[in-house]
Structure 1
Amino acid sequence: MNLTGGIVLFASLWFLTLFCVMPIGQRSQADAGSVVPGTHAGAPSGVNWRRKLLWTTAITSLLWAVIAWVILGGIVTRADISNLDQLVR
């Protein structure tokens, strides 16, 4: 894995993790009891973006480190991936 591959992997994992973390602990405006006129009652209320982004970055860093260790440590090589069809046959 080169530098560009590492950056692309981190960015892809970061956005995937963000979309998994966003709904955790989310309260709707109806739950909070303050529905803003013109919005749906199920719209989010009081999103703590700083906390969610910090959690996203921490989880992504951990995932990226494990994947980089697997790739750079030679645990899984390109030859292993190209021979995966041999397992099915």
Structure 2
Amino acid sequence: MGPTSAIVLYAVIWWMTLFCVAPLRLKTQQDLGQVTRGTPSGAPEVHHLKEKLLITTGVATVIFLIAAGVILSGVISVRDLDWFGRMPPD
């Protein structure tokens, strides 16, 4: 795995982790009973964004280290994922 593919892999893992972490502990305007006129009731009022970004970075780093370790060690290769026999044998 080259440096560019490592950066891309980390970025994909980071964003997917952020999308999983973002809804946690989210308080909407409707939850607090303070809906501002002209905004959707599901708009976030308290989002804890800084904490979520730190959590996302930590979790994504751990997941990336595991994925990079598996890729670099060769435990799983592209040939292992060839379920339909499309790759020619060595």
Aligned equivalent of 1:84: 83
Aligned residues: 85
Corresponding residue for residue 56 of structure 1: 56
Cα distance between partner residues in 2 of 1:41 and 1:79 = 50
In structure 1, list runs of 5 or more residues that go unmatched.
Answer: none
**Aligned alpha-carbon RMSD (Å):** 1.3
Instruction: Report the structure, 1 or 2, having the larger helix content.
Output: 1
Secondary structure at the aligned position of 2:13 is classed as helix
Q: Helix, strand or coil: the match of 1:45?
A: strand
Q: Distance in 2 between matches of 1:71 and 1:18?
A: 23
With structure 1 as the length reference, what TM-score do the two structures score? 0.85
User: Structure 2 length as normaliser, TM-score?
Assistant: 0.84
Find the aligned partners of 1:36 and 1:46 in 2 and give their Cα distance: 14
Cα shift at 1:19: 0.9
